[in-house]
Chain A
Amino acid sequence: MIRLVNPAFAFGLLAALLPILVHLLLRDRIRRVAFSSLRFLRHAPKHVLRHKVVSESLLVLLRAAACVLAALVFCRPVFCPRGDPSALRVDRATVVVVDLSGSVPRSADAVRLREEVTAALDGLGRGDAAALMVFDRRPTVLVPMTTDLASLRTALDRVVPGHGGTDIAGALRRADDLLRDVSAPTRRVLLVTDLQRSGWRDFRGDWRLTPGVELAVHPLVPAAVAADLAIVRADYPRSAVRDATARTIAVRVANLGQEAAPDVPVVLTVNDREVNRQSVSIPPHGAVAVRFGFAFEQAGDNLGTVSVEQADLCPDNSRWYFNTKVIPRIPVLLIGTAEATPQRSADFLLRTALAPAPESPFEVRGVAAGRVSAQDVQAASVVILADVPALAPEVREAIDSLLRRGGGVLALPGAHAAPDSFVIPGAEDLSPCRLRRIVVNAGRGGQAREMGLARIDYTHPVFEAFLRPHHGDFSAVRYTRYWEVTGSQLSRVLARFEDGRPAVLEREVAAGVVMAWLAPPDPTWGNLPGRAIYLPLLHQTVRYLCLRTEPAAEFVVGDALPVSRDETVTLPDGTAVPGGNVAAPLPGFYRVEKPGTAPRHLTVNTPTAEAEVDTVSPDELRAALVTPVDAGAPAQAGTAPGSVVDRGLWQAVLLALLLVLLVESFVANRALRN
Chain B
Amino acid sequence: MPATRYLDFNVLARISSMQLLAKTVVEGFLLGLHRSPFRGFSVEFAEYRQYTPGDEIRHIDWKVYGKTDRYYLKQFEEETNLACTILLDASASMTYQSRPDGLSKLQYASSLAACLAYFMNGQRDATGLTVFDDRIRLMLPPRLRPSHLKRLLSELDDLKPGGDTDIAAPMHQVADTLRHRGLIILISDLLDDPDKVLSALQHFRFAGHDVLVFHVMDEAELGFTFESMTEFTDLETGERLLVSAGGMRGAYLEELRRFLTACEKGCAGIRADYKLFNTSTPLELALSEYLYRRSLLG
Q: What residues make up the interface of A, taking CB atoms closer than 8 Å to B?
A: 28-45, 48-49, 51-52, 674
Q: Which residues of A contact B191 (CB under 8 A)?
A: 36-37, 39
**Docked CA distance A31–B244 (Å):** 10
Q: With A40-B259, A48-B244 as given contacts, are A35 and B235 in contact (CB-CB < 8 Å)? A: yes
Residues A31 and B231 in contact, CB atoms below 8 Å apart = yes
Residues B230 and A32 in contact, CB atoms below 8 Å apart = yes
**Docked CA distance A48–B229 (Å):** 11
Cβ 8 A contact of A44, one of B228, B229, B233, B251:
B251
**Docked CA distance A32–B243 (Å):** 11
B252 at the A interface (CB under 8 A)? yes
Residues B221 and A36 in contact, CB atoms below 8 Å apart = yes
Residues B244 and A41 in contact, CB atoms below 8 Å apart = no
Residues B241 and A28 in contact, CB atoms below 8 Å apart = no
Residues B248 and A44 in contact, CB atoms below 8 Å apart = yes
Cβ 8 A contact of A45, one of B105, B226, B241, B248:
B248
Residues B235 and A31 in contact, CB atoms below 8 Å apart = no
B218 at the A interface (CB under 8 A)? yes
Residues B255 and A43 in contact, CB atoms below 8 Å apart = yes
Residues A44 and B243 in contact, CB atoms below 8 Å apart = yes
B111 at the A interface (CB under 8 A)? no
- Most A CB contacts (10 A, CB to CB) among B189, B221, B232, B239 go to B232
Cβ 8 A contact of A41, one of B228, B232, B246:
B232
Interface residues of B in 210-225 (CB under 8 A from A): 218, 221
Residues B96 and A34 in contact, CB atoms below 8 Å apart = yes
B234 at the A interface (CB under 8 A)? yes
A286 to B: closest C-beta gap in Å: 92
Residues A40 and B244 in contact, CB atoms below 8 Å apart = no
Q: Which residues of A contact B248 (CB under 8 A)?
A: 41, 44-45, 48
Residue of A nearest to B238 (CB): A34
Residues A33 and B226 in contact, CB atoms below 8 Å apart = yes
Residues A30 and B236 in contact, CB atoms below 8 Å apart = no
Q: Which residues of B contact A31 (CB under 8 A)?
A: 226, 228-231
State which size class the interface on B falls in.
Answer: 20 to 34
A640 to B: closest C-beta gap in Å: 49
Residues A28 and B232 in contact, CB atoms below 8 Å apart = no
Cβ 8 A contact of A49, one of B235, B237, B247:
B247
Q: What residues make up the interface of B, taking CB atoms closer than 8 Å to A?
A: 93-94, 96, 105, 189, 191, 218, 221, 226, 228-237, 239, 241-244, 246-248, 251-252, 255-256, 259
A39 to B: closest C-beta gap in Å: 7
Q: Which residues of B contact A48 (CB under 8 A)?
A: 243-244, 247-248
Q: With A35-B96, A36-B96, A36-B105 as given contacts, are A674 and B247 in contact (CB-CB < 8 Å)? A: yes
Q: Which residues of B contact A33 (CB under 8 A)?
A: 226, 230-233
Residues B233 and A28 in contact, CB atoms below 8 Å apart = no
Residue of B nearest to A37 (CB): B191
Q: Which residues of A contact B247 (CB under 8 A)?
A: 48-49, 51-52, 674
User: Given known contacts A35-B221, A52-B244, A674-B247, what 14 new A-B pairs fall within 8 Å (CB)?
Assistant: A28-B228, A28-B229, A30-B228, A30-B230, A31-B229, A35-B233, A36-B93, A36-B105, A36-B189, A38-B234, A39-B259, A41-B232, A44-B252, A49-B244
Q: Which residues of B contact A49 (CB under 8 A)?
A: 229, 242-244, 247
**Docked CA distance A33–B228 (Å):** 11
Residues A37 and B236 in contact, CB atoms below 8 Å apart = yes
Q: Which residues of B contact A30 (CB under 8 A)?
A: 228-231, 242
Q: Which residues of B contact A29 (CB under 8 A)?
A: 228-229
**Docked CA distance A600–B290 (Å):** 103
B105 to A: closest C-beta gap in Å: 7
Residues A40 and B96 in contact, CB atoms below 8 Å apart = no
Residues A37 and B234 in contact, CB atoms below 8 Å apart = yes
**Docked CA distance A36–B234 (Å):** 6
**Docked CA distance A219–B129 (Å):** 117
Q: Which residues of B contact A42 (CB under 8 A)?
A: 241
**Docked CA distance A400–B221 (Å):** 75
**Docked CA distance A541–B251 (Å):** 84
Residue of B nearest to A674 (CB): B247
Q: With A35-B96, A35-B235, A674-B247 as given contacts, are A40 and B252 in contact (CB-CB < 8 Å)? A: yes
Residues A36 and B218 in contact, CB atoms below 8 Å apart = yes
Q: Which residues of B contact A39 (CB under 8 A)?
A: 191, 255, 259
A587 to B: closest C-beta gap in Å: 74
**Docked CA distance A29–B255 (Å):** 26
Q: Which residues of A contact B228 (CB under 8 A)?
A: 28-31
**Docked CA distance A52–B247 (Å):** 8
**Docked CA distance A41–B236 (Å):** 15
Residues A38 and B239 in contact, CB atoms below 8 Å apart = yes
Residues A41 and B243 in contact, CB atoms below 8 Å apart = yes
Q: Which residues of B contact A34 (CB under 8 A)?
A: 96, 232-233, 235
**Docked CA distance A411–B230 (Å):** 87
Cβ 8 A contact of B233, one of A32, A52, A674:
A32
Residues B244 and A38 in contact, CB atoms below 8 Å apart = no
A48 to B: closest C-beta gap in Å: 4
Q: With A48-B244, A49-B242, A49-B243 as given contacts, are A38 and B232 in contact (CB-CB < 8 Å)? A: yes
Q: Which residues of B contact A43 (CB under 8 A)?
A: 251, 255
**Docked CA distance A628–B191 (Å):** 88
B260 to A: closest C-beta gap in Å: 11
Residue of B nearest to A31 (CB): B230
Residues B236 and A32 in contact, CB atoms below 8 Å apart = no
| Listed A/B pairs (16) with beta-carbon separation below 8 Å | A30-B242, A31-B226, A31-B228, A32-B233, A33-B226, A34-B235, A36-B94, A36-B235, A37-B235, A38-B239, A38-B241, A44-B252, A48-B243, A48-B247, A49-B244, A52-B229
Cβ 8 A contact of B251, one of A32, A36, A45, A52:
A45
Residue of A nearest to B98 (CB): A33
**Docked CA distance A36–B94 (Å):** 7
- What are the 9 A-B residue pairs with the smallest beta carbon separation, nearest first? A48-B247, A44-B248, A36-B96, A40-B255, A36-B93, A35-B232, A28-B228, A28-B229, A31-B230
Q: With A30-B231, A51-B247 as given contacts, are A41 and B241 in contact (CB-CB < 8 Å)? A: yes
**Docked CA distance A616–B157 (Å):** 111
A672 to B: closest C-beta gap in Å: 9
Residue of A nearest to B189 (CB): A36
B97 to A: closest C-beta gap in Å: 10
Q: Which residues of A contact B255 (CB under 8 A)?
A: 39-40, 43
**Docked CA distance A52–B243 (Å):** 10
A84 to B: closest C-beta gap in Å: 54
**Docked CA distance A49–B245 (Å):** 9
B242 to A: closest C-beta gap in Å: 7
B217 to A: closest C-beta gap in Å: 8
Q: Which residues of B contact A28 (CB under 8 A)?
A: 228-229
Q: Which residues of B contact A40 (CB under 8 A)?
A: 252, 255-256, 259
B183 to A: closest C-beta gap in Å: 27
**Docked CA distance A625–B131 (Å):** 101
Q: Which residues of B contact A41 (CB under 8 A)?
A: 232, 241, 243, 248, 252
Residue of A nearest to B221 (CB): A36
A236 to B: closest C-beta gap in Å: 81
B298 to A: closest C-beta gap in Å: 38
**Docked CA distance A49–B228 (Å):** 11
**Docked CA distance A48–B249 (Å):** 11
**Docked CA distance A609–B225 (Å):** 83
Q: Which residues of A contact B246 (CB under 8 A)?
A: 674
**Docked CA distance A43–B255 (Å):** 8
**Docked CA distance A277–B5 (Å):** 122
A26 to B: closest C-beta gap in Å: 11
**Docked CA distance A34–B243 (Å):** 13
Q: Which residues of B contact A36 (CB under 8 A)?
A: 93-94, 96, 105, 189, 191, 218, 221, 234-235
**Docked CA distance A558–B112 (Å):** 97
**Docked CA distance A44–B224 (Å):** 13
Q: With A40-B255, A48-B247 as given contacts, are A32 and B218 in contact (CB-CB < 8 Å)? A: no
**Docked CA distance A38–B236 (Å):** 10
A205 to B: closest C-beta gap in Å: 64
Residue of A nearest to B230 (CB): A31
- Most B CB contacts (10 A, CB to CB) among A29, A36, A39, A48 go to A36
Q: Which residues of A contact B239 (CB under 8 A)?
A: 38
**Docked CA distance A40–B93 (Å):** 14
